Structure formats: structure tokens, C-alpha cells
Amino acid sequence: MFSEGGVTGVGGVRVPAVSTPTAVLGAGSFGTCLAMLCARAHDVKLWSRRPDVAEAINRDRRNPRYLSEFALPDRVEATADLRDALAGRELVIIAVPSHSLREVMTEAAPFIEEGAIIVSAVKGVEFETGLTMNGVFREVLDVAHHPRLVALSGPSFAAEIAQRLPTVVTVACREEAYAISVQATLSCPWFRCYTHTDVIGVETAGALKNVIAIAVGMSDGTDSGLNARAALMTRGLAEITRIGVAQGAEAETFLGLSGMGDLLLTCTGDLSRNRRVGLGLGRGRKLAEIQAELGEVAEGIATTRAAVRLAERLRVEAPICQLVRAVIDGERTPREAGLSLMTRQLRSERDRGPRVRKSGGP
């Protein structure tokens, strides 16, 4: 009998999952749920920066900080030692906050096995460089690893993956054979992967949808209505697409799981941290207070500032990103930002290409 990790391969033939020694770097919510997912058929090392968290996981079979209501499979072994986490691992999944990716991967690089496939579940844009996470990996890791860099993105709340609720994502790699390998390794009856080759598109979509989710949260927090929510999501997708295409992404990518799919989930789902940030701001709460209450990183806050800087470099209009930044930085209220969007210069909806940002603000 095949394990529950089996997948349907070419020609509809059911094939068993092959055990792949796996490392997951990052013991937050998403890293923890991915470790649980992989452990259904694979031996998993879960790396936490904090030794006390690793010890608690091994002792109690639960993550004391994230998704603590879920028991971790026996196949998951936690460690705070990067060398130990990566030794002999054929698949390395990265699930750390975007702001710490460069530091973590610089430390991890000497210990990554030759030939390992590296999967990034990190969603963000580096502020200083404007790079998506794939770009950061390429700067930090030896060129020999570059063909096997894979991005995982799509509508996927960690708690629902942990509950084994149906989840569908995209895995993208410039060399699609490695994306197909990850697809076969991770896919199971409740977690389905589609492959793609547009890495910059998949990563840009996954990062910038968090900014739009903050905007939608602010709109909902000010009781601006369902019409406004739909408009922000639609125009937000257009804005994300402009920024992505200006970097060489394919426009169609943004209509897929990593684009429209993830945008829909993050803007409307109550589990979305970025939506909750926006809701709090819309209701007049201070950003620091909201962040303290969340207890986890809301990637959209840092990504907003990075997205505005990136759009300016690309000479692409990004009015929603600009106004979310203005609210986050205390320069405007959510209601002022909404009014600014509604009273911008009128134009045709068919004007979808990158546009030079005019002086004088959004």
C-alpha cells in the first residue's frame, strides 16, 4: 500500500513518495506547518534560532510559540545548530522572516549539501537592494546552488496546512525539473503543488500582496464598504503586476495562485496578519500596539517601504503602496489615504503597462 505521501504521476499512475532527508530553517508558524507536512513521509530537521524552542519541541512534541495546539510527528527533530540541521539534507526549505534571510543564509551556506534543492517559502523584498528573496539567495549562495533555487508561494495559511485542509500552491524554478521534483516531494492528498518557471513573478506577487492586504484591512477598518474592498484588490493586483512586469515577470503569472489566489486569501481571510494590521490602523490603533499584539512578523509592513522604493527605482506608479507607507509612517490617516486614491487623476482602465511616476506624489 502506498503511503499517504504518494502522488499521481505521468499517465495517472499512483507512485509512492520517496523519503527525502529534509531540513526546514525557521520554526515560526509556516516553518512548523511545513515540517509537519514533510514529516508525513520524510525525515525532517527543524531549525530554530532559539535553543529553548528546539529543546521544547523535542521534549513535548509541540512548538511552544507557534501552532502549539498541534502535535509534531516523531519524524521531526528540532535543533538550534545549523550544521546539524543541514547535514545530509537533500531538500532545504527556508521559512525565516524576510529581514533575516541574508543573515541566516550567510551562516547556513557552508553547511548546505552539494546538490541539495533549496526551497524558499519567504515572502518579501529586501529594502536596501530591492531584491526578491531569490535575488538574495543568488548573492549569498555559491553559483553551484543557483539552478536548484525554488520559490514556494500561493494561498496558504499555516494553521490550515497543519489541520490538513486542502491547500494549493505554486513552486517555481528557472530550471523546471527541480520544481517538478519539489512538486512530487511535497504534494499529497491535502497539499497540491503546481509548477512554474517565472520566479520573479511568483516572488513579486507573493511579497506585494501583503501590502494590498494592509490597504484592504484599513478600508474595512474604516467601514468603507465591500465596493471599496473589491476595488482595492483589483487595482492592487494591477499595481503588483506593473511592478512585476517592469522586472521582467510574465503578466499571466499574477492571475495564478501566487498572484490572484494569494491576494484573495490574504485580503479577506481572518488569519491574515497583514489584514489584521490594516484593520487595526483603520480603527485608529497605533502600529506598535498592533505589532505587539500579533506576536509574529507581518511581512507587509517592511515590504511596503521596500515596494515603494522599488517602484521608484523602476519608475512605475504605485499609489496604493505609497499611501499604505504614508499611513504606516504616520504621515496620513487611513481615511485621508482612501480619499487620496479616490480623487487621483482619472484615466482609462485599459492603461495597464508600467507608467512613469509623475512628480507631486500619488
**Structural domain total, the chain:** 2
Q: Is the pLDDT at 88 greater than 90, yes or no?
A: yes
User: By residue range, what is the domain housing residue 140?
Assistant: 7-197
- In a domain? residue 46: yes
Q: Domain check: are 53 and 193 in the same one?
A: yes
The CATH number of residue 176's host domain is: 3.40.50.720
Dig out the grid coordinates for 41 from the structure: 513521509
The CA–CA distances, whole Å, from 211 to 83, 208, 219, 240, 297 equal: 35, 5, 13, 10, 13
Instruction: Give residue 360's pLDDT.
Output: 37
pTM: 0.92
Using pLDDT thresholds of 50, 70 and 90, give the confidence band for residue 8: low
The proportion of the chain whose per-residue pLDDT surpasses 90, expressed as a percent, equals 90
Per-residue pLDDT of 222-272, as tens digits, reads 999 999 999 999 999 999 999 999 999 999 999 999 999 999 999 999 999
Phi then psi for residue 189, to 5 deg, are: -60, -20
Dig out the grid coordinates for 209 from the structure: 500582496
Mean pLDDT estimate for the chain: 93
Q: Domain check: are 319 and 184 in the same one?
A: no
Instruction: Give residue 18's pLDDT.
Output: 67
Q: Domain check: are 163 and 216 in the same one?
A: no
Instruction: Give residue 297's pLDDT.
Output: 83
Quick check: 236 and 259 in contact, CB under 8 A?
no
In whole angstroms, what is the distance from residue 214 CA to residue 278 CA?
A: 4
- In a domain? residue 1: no
Q: State mean pLDDT over 196-225.
A: 98
The CATH number of residue 289's host domain is: 1.10.1040.10
203 CB-near residues (< 8 Å, 6+ apart): 120, 123, 132, 133, 134, 151, 153, 172, 258
**Number of helices followed by number of strands (H, E) in the chain:** 15, 10
Per-residue pLDDT of 288-346, as tens digits, reads 999 999 988 889 999 999 999 999 999 999 999 999 999 999 999 999 999 999 999 99
3-class DSSP string for 289-355 = HHHHHHCCCCHHHHHHHHHHHHHHHHCCCCHHHHHHHHHHCCCCCHHHHHHHHHCCCCCCCCCCCCC
Quick check: 202 and 229 in contact, CB under 8 A?
no
**Any catalytic annotation for residue 286?**
no
The proportion of the chain whose per-residue pLDDT surpasses 70, expressed as a percent, equals 92
Instruction: Give residue 315's pLDDT.
Output: 96
Dig out the grid coordinates for 13 from the structure: 499512475
- In a domain? residue 280: yes
In whole angstroms, what is the distance from residue 282 CA to residue 228 CA?
A: 13
Which position among 45, 123, 209, 286 bears the catalytic label?
A: 209
